[in-house]
Amino acid sequence: VQSELEFISWLQEHVPPHPRCELPLGDDCAIVHVENSAVVTTDMLVEGVHFLSNEVSPRRIGRKLLAVNLSDLAAMAARPTAAVISLALPRKGGYSLAVELYEGLLPLAERYHVAIAGGDTNVWDGPLVVSLTLLGDPHPRGSLRRHGAVEGDSILVTGTLCGSLRGRHLDFEPRVDEAQRLRDQYNLHAGIDITDGLAIDLSRVLAASGRGAIVDVDLVPISEAALELAHRANDRKSPLQHALGDGEDFELLLTAPQDEARRMLADTPLEVPLTIIGEITPDDGLRQRDRQGRITPLAADGYLHRTNK
């Protein structure tokens, strides 16, 4: 695919029609069917910050572009519906690159029933920039918010933390289905996806809710990757520090009343781990508790490289 026209033809052939979209690609705007409210998120990935073109295939970049937006919808327990995609392509080989981005993205779109509703493709003299806006339906029980944690809530996380530096930040599975299932079946108070690190994202929930938390650090589910990283000769962080501070886990961080959280764990409603890692406190501090019950302050110094909203 060498030219804009060839790329448009490719798109028209490979982007499937979707019941939510009234028009095929090719008008000035897309029309997406929505019921009363649309949950909307946007994320941009740029060369050198979110990926390195010489290390990562365009397919994985395309997949990640959709996945990070899916993770934002999952954080609110919304169901994804439609996406629009903007690309700034390098002049050399840009359209072939665009096809590969889409080839990485389309299977994930199909997996989560996301309509590709439109986009804007540009060629320029700079490096690759990709941007996606994702629409979703709010959950019938209401959107999960950062706001809403109350004292006594248990803090839960899905999966295990810290795999991003080993490539998981590209290949993670967004917790769309998990968020739906938990919101369907349980009374959740607050939620966020872990993008900048457990400590910093938890502190966002606390700030929005006007509460504090104690994290039982020995309960934090640490991935194999965190152990491997910490065992490197020049690594100065413990596995726990990786799990608390490394970003791009894209797991869900939730709060729920203690009884409800215990019921969730007993039910094992998910195929991925679900772990209680601490509790919400009435004050506004973030603290950690070790195995011996000692409580000390916990710094919210996650890996911060972007603003989301």
| Interface with a second copy in residues 265-304 (CB under 8 A) | 304
If binding means CB under 8 A, how many residues of this protein chain bind a second copy? 71
> To the nearest whole angstrom, how small is the minimum distance from the Cβ of residue 26 to a second copy?
5
118 in contact with a second copy (CB under 8 A): yes
CB 86 within 8 A of CB 123: no
Using CB under 8 A as the binding rule, whether residue 164 contacts a second copy is answered as no
Please, which residue, 70 or 256, has the CB nearer to a second copy? 70
Contact region with a second copy (CB under 8 A), list: 55-63, 135-143, 234-242, 266-274: 135-143
Q: Smallest distance, Å, CB 159 to a second copy?
A: 17
Given the rule CB under 8 A, which of 43-51, 168-176, 240-248, 258-266 is the region that contacts a second copy? Answer: 43-51
- Nearest Cα to Cα of residue 141 among 106, 82, 184: 184
- DSSP 3-state of 136: strand
Q: What separation in angstroms does the CA of 133 have from each of 130, 175, 185, 216?
A: 10, 18, 28, 36
Determine contact, residues 240/183, Cβ cutoff 8 Å.
no
Report 72-91 residues binding a second copy (CB under 8 A): 72-73, 75-76, 78, 82, 84-88
Q: Kindly state whether residue 133 participates in binding a second copy, applying the rule CB under 8 A.
A: yes
Rule CB under 8 A: choose which of 126, 167, 273, 282 binds a second copy.
126
Give residues with Cβ within 8 angstroms of 215, minimum separation 6: 155, 198, 199, 202, 244, 277, 278, 286, 287, 288, 289, 298
Instruction: Determine how many CB atoms are found less than 10 A away from the CB of residue 306.
Output: 14
